[in-house]
């Protein structure tokens, strides 16, 4: 295996594992704000117990998210030093901003969220919960901005160092291996870099995916309690909160998915064609539902709806969608391969495609899971409306609730598949149409070193995952502490709130 494949595998593995947890923290963070807000508003002790229970689950996901997150920041330098040298001027500032604006906020107020119940009053505690949630979102903002810049670079120019002096290069300069070390991307316009053409679409998509991860975790555990007939009062309220949140997130995600796909069509046509396995440029381009791509014959066999892709992309079924056989353009290829003859271009072009079958399948997996979750919340909302949601002795309700229990896996699968689609679809580029992944490696690092680190992370992360699942299961088995609140240990302001609550309960 080459160093490139190993370095990519190591990075992909550590990102994949890390990316289980931050979406949960972001989504659960919103759920905590809702629950604690409801408690402060209504004074109902049920919401208090809910916030306490979900805070414990939150703490577990957060701890592993933090522990594995620092790995990512190190890896840009350890595995991708040439990339870091090339884009440090731009990419580094987004990472530093993430540290200053997001992590400090998140981790600082996390202390109050977890350990502050006896130290601060309810309002300050609620404020801290909001800040942790906000910090988690800021973190998503900056990391997605940094990543979006790799997808659709903007607000920069290329510069070559000649005798210690920077010389500006033309915008269409094609980076060749000899440029590495002397050419780098330099920021022109910070806001154009931040709001690059794909930032907003992708950020919305990622955040909604995270909301779904948190919402369906609440839905899943609550449904499990109901089916087992345990903590039923708690579970009913928790399920309603989770379901309402999940419905909002899922509906918005449908819209966001469409907008994101449209953005990909505009900004990254090669990736877009690969998503649908579209080799030939064609009007009335079909949308595939399921299928497979044969990269040898360059054909896609799929259950498809004719014209829908053109319609969704351009709002005009007759408008042609450009296929892979015309992408990237001849002009682009000639710029990178000035010596190539027109006959050679089709063969060269294939080097600029991602692995089409993989991108196709990951994309369709993500869409399919999204649709399944949509169907689930639609049925669940219907049951809620008809008053059937808690009829746990009735088979349709039981089936629905089991669907809810399993639904926790949905957003996780979709988030991972979506991430793979986005990152694999960008290949062979690390920065789209600017720097190739194969050029971005650390020169000082050998394949053996990467193998050692890959094995180490595999062992550590598998162990962590087993422990995480075990401890989460234990927390679920234990359930919420019904009498939690430990009145005697609370500060006076909490006692005042709880007293009001008791009085209301009596009257």
Partner 1 sequence: MDLNLIWFILVGVLLTGYAVLDGFDLGVGTLQLFARKDEHRRLFLNAIGPVWDGNEVWLVTGGGALFAAFPEAYATVFSGFYLPFMALLCALIFRAVAIEFRSKEPWPWWRQMWDILFALGSTLSAFLIGVAMGNIVRGIPLDADHEFTGTLLGLLNPYALLMGVTVVLLFAMHGAIYLVMKTEGELHALVRGWVPTLIGLFLAAYILFNFYTLIALPHVYHTVQARPWILIIMAAAVLVILNIPREFSRGRDFNAFLSSCIGMALMMAAFGGTYFPNMVLSNPLPENSLTITNAASSPKTLGIMLVIACIGIPIVLTYTVCIYYIFRGKTKLTPQSY
Please give the residues from 77 up to 136 whose contact with partner 1 meets the rule CB under 8 A. Answer: 77-79, 81-82, 84-85, 87-93, 95-101, 103-105, 107-112, 114-120
Contact window for partner 1 (CB under 8 A) among 35-43, 74-82, 361-369, 412-420? 74-82
Smallest separation, CB 69 to partner 1 (Å):
8
Total number of residues that touch partner 1 (CB under 8 A): 74
Smallest separation, CB 402 to partner 1 (Å):
28
Contact window for partner 1 (CB under 8 A) among 69-77, 212-220, 274-282, 360-368? 69-77
489 touches partner 1 (CB under 8 A):
yes
| Cβ-Cβ contacts under 8 Å for 103 (sequence gap 6 or more) | 135, 139
Cα(248)–Cα(370) distance, integer angstroms: 13
Smallest separation, CB 291 to partner 1 (Å):
41
Taking the least distance from each CB to partner 1, the nearer of 143 and 226 is 143
Dihedral pair phi/psi, residue 157, rounded to 5° = -140, 165
Residues 299-358 close enough to bind partner 1 by CB under 8 A: none
* 185 within 8 A of 156, measured Cβ to Cβ: yes
Taking the least distance from each CB to partner 1, the nearer of 64 and 497 is 64
Peptide bond between residue 328 and the one before it cis (omega within 30 degrees of 0): yes
Contact window for partner 1 (CB under 8 A) among 72-80, 212-220, 332-340, 365-373? 72-80
Smallest separation, CB 124 to partner 1 (Å):
9
Q: Which two tokens stand for residue 130?
A: 């909001």
Residues 353-372 close enough to bind partner 1 by CB under 8 A: none
* 169 within 8 A of 158, measured Cβ to Cβ: yes
Cα(430)–Cα(410) distance, integer angstroms: 28
3-state secondary structure of 299: strand
Dihedral pair phi/psi, residue 187, rounded to 5° = -75, 135
What CA–CA distances, in Å, run from 69 to 22, 25, 62, 183, 358? 9, 13, 10, 30, 26
Dihedral pair phi/psi, residue 318, rounded to 5° = -85, -10
Taking the least distance from each CB to partner 1, the nearer of 83 and 383 is 83
Smallest separation, CB 181 to partner 1 (Å):
5
* 401 within 8 A of 223, measured Cβ to Cβ: yes
276 touches partner 1 (CB under 8 A):
no
Taking the least distance from each CB to partner 1, the nearer of 216 and 457 is 457
Taking the least distance from each CB to partner 1, the nearer of 164 and 338 is 164
The residue written with tokens 């669907």 in the block is 403
53 touches partner 1 (CB under 8 A):
no
Smallest separation, CB 199 to partner 1 (Å):
17
Taking the least distance from each CB to partner 1, the nearer of 71 and 417 is 71
Smallest separation, CB 471 to partner 1 (Å):
5
471 touches partner 1 (CB under 8 A):
yes
Taking the least distance from each CB to partner 1, the nearer of 303 and 456 is 456
186 touches partner 1 (CB under 8 A):
yes
Cα(498)–Cα(40) distance, integer angstroms: 10
Cα(196)–Cα(172) distance, integer angstroms: 18
The secondary structure element, H or E, covering residue 166 is strand 165-168
Residues 391-450 close enough to bind partner 1 by CB under 8 A: 442-445, 449
How many DSSP H helices and E strands does the chain contain? 18, 7
Taking the least distance from each CB to partner 1, the nearer of 53 and 353 is 53
Smallest separation, CB 191 to partner 1 (Å):
10
Site string for partner 1, 141-170 (x = CB under 8 A): ------------------x----x-x----
Smallest separation, CB 122 to partner 1 (Å):
14
Which contacts qualify for 18-21: CB closer than 8 Å, 24 or more apart?
Answer: 18/65, 18/68, 18/69, 18/71, 18/72, 19/415, 19/416, 19/419, 20/412, 21/61, 21/62, 21/64, 21/65, 21/68
Taking the least distance from each CB to partner 1, the nearer of 63 and 248 is 63
Taking the least distance from each CB to partner 1, the nearer of 55 and 267 is 55
Q: Which two tokens stand for residue 14?
A: 């550590």
């Amino acid at each position: 295996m080459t160093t490139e494949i190993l370095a990519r595998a190591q990075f992909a593995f550590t990102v994949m594992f890390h990316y289980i947890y931050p979406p949960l923290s972001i989504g659960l963070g919103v759920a905590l704000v809702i629950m604690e807000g409801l408690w402060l508003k209504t004074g109902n002790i049920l919401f208090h117990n809910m916030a306490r229970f979900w805070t414990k689950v939150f703490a577990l996901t957060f701890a592993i998210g933090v522990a594995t997150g620092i790995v990512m920041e190190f890896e840009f330098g350890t595995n991708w030093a040439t990339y870091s040298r090339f884009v440090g001027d731009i990419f580094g500032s987004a990472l530093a901003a993430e540290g200053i604006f997001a992590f400090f906020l998140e981790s600082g107020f996390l202390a109050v969220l977890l350990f502050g119940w006896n130290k601060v009053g309810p309002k300050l505690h609620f404020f801290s919960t909001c800040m942790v949630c906000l910090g988690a979102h800021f973190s998503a903002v900056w990391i997605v901005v940094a990543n979006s810049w790799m997808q659709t670079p903007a607000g920069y120019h290329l510069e070559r160092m000649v005798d210690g002096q920077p010389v500006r290069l033309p915008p269409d300069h094609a980076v060749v291996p000899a440029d590495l070390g002397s050419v780098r991307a330099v920021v022109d316009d910070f806001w154009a870099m931040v709001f690059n053409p794909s930032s907003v679409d992708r950020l919305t998509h990622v955040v909604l995916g995270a909301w779904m991860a948190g919402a369906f975790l609440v839905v899943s555990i609550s449904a499990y309690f109901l089916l087992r007939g345990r903590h039923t009062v708690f579970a009913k309220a928790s399920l309603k909160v989770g379901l309402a949140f999940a419905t909002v997130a899922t509906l918005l995600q449908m819209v966001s998915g469409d907008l994101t796909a449209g953005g990909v069509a505009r900004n990254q046509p090669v990736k877009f064609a690969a998503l649908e396995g579209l080799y030939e440029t064609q009007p009335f381009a079909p949308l595939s539902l399921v299928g497979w791509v044969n990269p040898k014959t360059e054909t896609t066999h799929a259950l498809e709806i004719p014209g829908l892709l053109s319609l969704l992309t351009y709002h005009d079924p007759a408008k042609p969608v450009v296929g892979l056989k015309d992408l990237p353009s001849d002009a682009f290829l000639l710029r990178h391969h000035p010596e190539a003859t027109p006959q050679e271009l089709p063969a060269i072009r294939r080097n600029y495609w991602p692995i089409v079958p993989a991108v196709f399948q990951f994309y369709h997996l993500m869409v399919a899971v999204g649709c399944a979750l949509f169907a689930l919340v639609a049925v669940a909302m219907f049951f809620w409306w008809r008053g059937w949601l808690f009829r746990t002795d009735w088979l349709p309700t039981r089936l629905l609730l089991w669907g809810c229990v399993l639904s926790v896996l949905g957003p996780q699968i979709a988030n991972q598949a979506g991430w793979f689609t986005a990152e694999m679809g960008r290949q062979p580029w690390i920065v789209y149409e600017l720097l190739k992944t194969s050029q971005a490696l650390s020169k000082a690092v050998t394949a053996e070193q990467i193998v050692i680190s890959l094995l180490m992370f595999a062992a550590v992360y598998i162990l962590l995952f087993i422990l995480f699942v075990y401890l989460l299961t234990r927390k679920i088995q234990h359930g919420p502490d019904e009498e939690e609140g430990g009145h005697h240990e609370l500060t006076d302001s909490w006692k005042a709130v709880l007293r009001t609550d008791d009085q209301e309960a009596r009257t």
